Amino acid sequence: MTHRDPIIVAHRGLALEAPENTLRAYAAALDLGFGIEIDPRLTADGQAVIVHDDSVDRTTDGSGNVEDLSLAQIEQLDAGSWFDPVFAGEPVPTLDMVLGLVEERAPKALVMLDIKSVDPYMETLVIESLEVYGLLSGSVGIGGLIYSAQMRERYHALEPRFPLARCVESSLELESAIADPCVDWIYLRYIPSAEDVRQVQRAEKKVVSSAPPVMYRNPDNWRCVREAGVDAMITDHQLECRRVWRDARQVRPRAG
């Protein structure tokens, strides 16, 4: 049986090789043919920037919560030196900067938005930005959306073309998740069987595998989700995962 490789989604960009959630990390991932996962968060003045944590302390030379800082203040921060001096001066990107990068370098790439801010303004901002850059149908809303039915309903009402995901922790939850009219992707936090995946895909929905079983370095689990036929997988180890899957595709000649 021939298995199609899932789309590998680079968690926070190529974050083992460049500072996470920066344009350098995203450009590297896109140029290598990966999808990307991004973390939009609102500033004090209502601008969307890409920062994973509540604060800028860990990934910049500044301090303070994102929601308490203006865009102008965040633009002054160095988001690269903590990772390696070669990235000194790398800025914290805005949502528009990242989406513009995708439009320019890989407009068909899968973009997963781990939306951090639960705010009606963020909902409008995300939809409008995706529309501007022509990335609406090629993106997926995750983050708080995978857990909150109310949040999914709001986004779906605002723009039904924006694909949304729902978290599933075990196969026992699949049926109700598939029946959810606001859900286009099933976000799996366990290693599925091929039948689990077929059940989702028969309903014309897609499957993304994520969480520690595949996010961290676990080649056996990577092979399992590939064999199960998932549509995409989010991981921190994109390059190694690709090598593992390439090895799985190789057909060795018969002896004799």
Give pLDDT tens digits for 164-198.
Answer: 999 999 999 999 999 999 999 999 999 999 999 99
48: tokens are 């969307």
pLDDT at residue 256 tops 70: no
pTM: 0.95
Q: Inter-axis angle of helices 149-158 and 120-132, to 10 degrees?
A: 50
Give residue for tokens 């190789």.
250
| Torsion over CA: 32, 7, 218, 249 (sign) | negative
Residue 251 confidence class, pLDDT cut points 50, 70, 90? low
pLDDT for the residue numbered 215: 96
Catalytic member of 3, 11, 156, 237: 11
44-79, pLDDT tens digit by residue? Answer: 999 999 999 999 999 999 999 999 999 999 999 999
* 237 is known as an active-site residue: no
Q: Of 164, 228, 165, nearest to 198 (Cα)?
A: 228
Amino acid at 61: D
The CATH class given to the 9-249 domain equals alpha beta
CA–centroid distance for 207 within its chain: 13
* 11 is known as an active-site residue: yes
Catalytic member of 3, 52, 156, 237: 52
